């Protein structure tokens, strides 16, 4: 094993551990301190926690002279980031509606949190959401597929366009459900 490979392993481990610690040790996965857990924040965190160490390992073992990331990794990061950005905009609209009409009760404005899984699967009006469940299941499936394709060669997997469409539909159904709940 050469020095670049060893350094890439260390960077991957430290990066993964840091992202894991930040997610589990802070309120970054919540809508705010002591607020319910946020589905879109979890999804963005998971993809970041997976792709960042893969980038380091790919650099160390496959592309030591030209670190690179492929289109699949970029699409996965941008799709989760875009979903998070749109979800935050919907949250802002919902909070403004609640301010104007105080009778509206929203989960994201709650001072209490249920269990992690309840928070993740519950929509803003307090009901379990099939759109969130679908998106969560596909997120975990694609995370597992991504990892299984990355190892043992440490090459970035390439997903077909239909995989992006499926993930887009799943993210879209989550966002539409989020937008309709108030």
For 3-41, the pLDDT digits (tens) are 999 999 999 999 999 999 999 999 999 877 778 898 999
Furthest-apart CA pair in the chain: how many Å? 63
Is residue 166 within 8 A of residue 138, CB to CB? The reply is: yes
User: What are the tokens at 45?
Assistant: 């965190």
Looking at 9-156, which runs of residues are DSSP E strands? none
Per domain, the residue ranges of the chain are 3-180
pLDDT tens digits, residue range 87-110? 888 878 877 777 777 665 555 556
> pTM for the whole thing?
0.86
pLDDT tens digits, residue range 39-93? 999 999 999 999 999 999 999 999 999 888 999 999 999 999 999 899 888 878 8
pLDDT of residue 67: 87
Identify the burial level of 12 via C-beta atoms within 10 angstroms of its C-beta, where 0-12 means exposed, 13-18 middle and 19 or more buried: buried
User: What are the tokens at 28?
Assistant: 């970054």
Residue 141: φ, ψ to 5°: -65, -50
Q: State in Å, rounded, how far the first CA of the chain is from the last one.
A: 56
DSSP 107: G
Is residue 175 within 8 A of residue 83, CB to CB? The reply is: yes
pLDDT of residue 95: 75
pLDDT at 135 over 60: yes
Cβ atoms < 10 Å from Cβ of 73 = 23
């Amino acid at each position: 094993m050469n020095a670049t490979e060893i350094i890439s392993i260390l960077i991957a481990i430290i990066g993964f551990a840091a992202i894991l610690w930040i997610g589990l040790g802070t309120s970054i996965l919540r809508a705010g301190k002591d607020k319910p857990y946020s589905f879109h924040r979890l999804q963005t965190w998971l993809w970041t926690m997976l792709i960042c160490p893969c980038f380091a390992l790919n650099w160390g073992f496959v592309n030591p002279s030209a670190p690179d990331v492929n289109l699949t990794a970029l699409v996965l990061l941008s799709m989760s980031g875009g979903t998070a950005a749109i979800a935050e905009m919907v949250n802002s609209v919902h909070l403004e509606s609640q301010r104007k009409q105080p009778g509206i009760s929203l989960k994201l404005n709650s001072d209490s949190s249920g269990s992690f899984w309840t928070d993740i699967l519950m929509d803003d009006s307090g009901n379990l959401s099939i759109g969130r469940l679908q998106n969560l299941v596909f997120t975990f499936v694609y995370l597992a597929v991504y990892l299984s394709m990355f190892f043992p060669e440490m090459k970035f997997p390439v997903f077909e366009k239909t995989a992006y469409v499926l993930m887009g539909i799943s993210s879209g159904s989550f966002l539409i459900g989020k937008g309709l709940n108030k």
